[in-house]
Amino acid sequence: MIDCSLYILISFLVSMLLGLGLIPLVVSFCKVKRIYDLPNERKVHKVFVPRLGGVCFIPCVVISFMLATAIVSRISEGTSLSLSLWTCYFSVGLLAIYVAGVVDDIVGVSPRTKFLVQIFAASILPLSGLYINNLYGFCGIGEIPLWVGATLTVIVIVFIDNAINLIDGIDGLAAFLAIIALLGFFVLFLSEDLLSYCIIIAGLLGVLVAFVRFNLFGKQGKNKIFMGDSGSLTLGFILGTLFVKCSMVRVNAEPAVVGGMPIVSSYLIVPVFDVCRVIITRFVHHRPIFMADKNHIHHKLLRTGMTQHQALGVLVVMALLFILINLLIGKSIGFTMIIVLDILVWVALQQLLDVFIRRNGKKVFV
């Protein structure tokens, strides 16, 4: 029997190398077919950029997973990888999300259609037995019934899916926030010896590293590419599902992983809190909730005078600090207090950011 780290490393490297090889081909395809993310008044980029980078995510992950698991089965007789019923249901939902994203990037899909696909993909997970069934004492609530948990599961997955999609507004941001969250999930699954999930996450991390190479450091007009909805919707659905997986408490046992919801809720604070703030702001200003604008946190950072890379760095550090602080204080205070403190810190940061925006002579809300 060989160390499980070898399978994980193989999955990561294979996926990364496939991504490095496939993404330039996708860039060329987009140029030939003229599949671009067009600039407009609410977008940061000013030139045509190919937007189909996320189409590589699933193929790279699947191939790397199949290769790693084949090695597990052939070399390590003492190690077995099992896929549960919910994993099969998840695969169906993921395929629906992925196809909707690819079609949207190529020919366009209405927001209503994408929303319905998201609801469908999220709704089939509770049918497999995977759903949020405990709130860990949040607001004094512990175990919750199936119908409440199933409904909450759909809401949470759809919300996280859209949060990742909407935070994808500057180079590298959605990818880096996803990498941070995936690393957190990876550590939790590894601590529970859930090798299948570790291999899948390693594969996804590999292709994200390859994507960042072209998205963040690619040259405009040559090899730069955006992930598009095919990437952001896929990432969001995976992260939402992993959140539910880690939060569910098994009957007469512990959560799927140690810590459960109080820990994993920290992994997605920046995109989730940003979407909540944007929705509340639109409501206060009597604007349509689903109307696109330039009031996400990355837009606000840019209005302070930061470059895209500087704004990316600030948000990555912010995401890491939220996780670190929550892990440090989580053992001494309850889940409710963690969320309350996170909200207070987030509001304070927004107020401070507004001060810098005004000093730069810009409007806080546009």
DSSP single-letter state for residue 360: T
pLDDT number for residue 186: 95
Q: Which of 39-43, 53-57, 235-239, 343-347 bottoms out in mean pLDDT, i.e. has the lowest?
A: 39-43
Q: Is 290 helix (H, G, I), strand (E, B) or coil?
A: coil
Q: Which residues are annotated as a binding site?
A: 165, 229
Domain ranges in the chain? 4-247+261-359
Tell me how far apart the alpha carbons of residues 172 and 215 are, in angstroms, rounded to a whole number.
Answer: 6
* pLDDT digits 0-9 by tens, 173-197: 999 999 999 999 999 999 888 888 8
Which helix (H) or strand (E) segment is 304 a member of? none
Confidence of residue 1 (pLDDT cuts 50, 70, 90): very low
Span 144-153, average pLDDT = 95
pLDDT number for residue 75: 64
pLDDT number for residue 81: 56
| Identity of the amino acid at 279 | I
Structure tokens at 351: 């107020």
pLDDT number for residue 336: 93
Does position 95 have pLDDT exceeding 90, yes or no?
A: yes
Average pLDDT of the residues of the chain: 89
How many residues in the chain? 366
Percentage of the residues of the chain whose pLDDT score is greater than 70:
91
Tell me how far apart the alpha carbons of residues 278 and 57 are, in angstroms, rounded to a whole number.
Answer: 28
Cα radius of gyration (the chain): 20
Q: Which residues of 273-282 are buried (b: 16+ CB within 10 A; e: fewer)?
A: bbbebbeebb
Tell me how far apart the alpha carbons of residues 159 and 156 are, in angstroms, rounded to a whole number.
Answer: 5
Closest CA to 325 of 349, 301, 304: 349
Span 9-32, average pLDDT = 95
* pLDDT digits 0-9 by tens, 310-327: 999 999 999 999 999 999
Q: Which residues are annotated as a binding site for Mg(2+)?
A: 165, 229
Tell me how far apart the alpha carbons of residues 285 and 283 are, in angstroms, rounded to a whole number.
Answer: 5
Confidence of residue 362 (pLDDT cuts 50, 70, 90): confident
* pLDDT digits 0-9 by tens, 226-258: 999 999 999 999 999 999 999 988 644 445 555
pLDDT number for residue 192: 84
Confidence of residue 73 (pLDDT cuts 50, 70, 90): low
* pLDDT digits 0-9 by tens, 276-312: 999 998 888 888 877 778 889 999 999 999 999 999 9
pTM of the model as a whole = 0.93
Span 1-11, average pLDDT = 77
Q: Which residues of 65-87 are buried (b: 16+ CB within 10 A; e: fewer)?
A: bebbbeebeeebeebebeeeebb
Q: Which of 41-55, 228-242, 331-345, 346-360 bottoms out in mean pLDDT, i.e. has the lowest?
A: 41-55
